[in-house]
Amino acid sequence: MATEVSRNDPTNITIPTHTNAWFYSEHGKALDILKLHPNWSIPQLKDDQVLIKVVAASLNPVDYKRMHALFKDTDPHLPVC
């Protein structure tokens, strides 16, 4: 799953086909509903797209609020996995 980049040849790049992903499909507390998918498919890249390797990420405040259904009346849709 790791992307290998040769320091001597920057054109020699292996693009991964899968990655890890955290997701949720119901409202509730993060400890109860967040799930780790260890083999999430990466979509095929188009010519005008790039793939960025993320080594750390955080949960945005609005995502935390959506997870806890604070916007349920105006934004009832959950992320789809």
Domain extent at residue 40: 4-67
Torsion of CA 52, 30, 70, 74, to 10 degrees: 50
Task: State pTM to two decimals.
Answer: 0.63
Assess if residue 72 is contained within a domain: no
Predicted pLDDT of residue 48: 94
Cβ 54 vs Cβ 28: under 8 Å: no
> What is the domain count for the chain?
1
Identify the three-state secondary structure at position 38: strand
Q: Does residue 80 belong to any structural domain of this protein?
A: no
Per-residue pLDDT of the chain (81 residues; tens, 9 = 90+): 455 555 666 677 788 899 998 888 888 998 999 999 999 999 888 999 988 888 888 888 988 888 888 888 887 676 655
Q: How far is CA 15 from CA 1, 11, 18, 19, 25, in A?
A: 8, 11, 9, 11, 28
pLDDT of residue 7: 61
Query: Which amino acid would we find at residue 64?
Result: Y
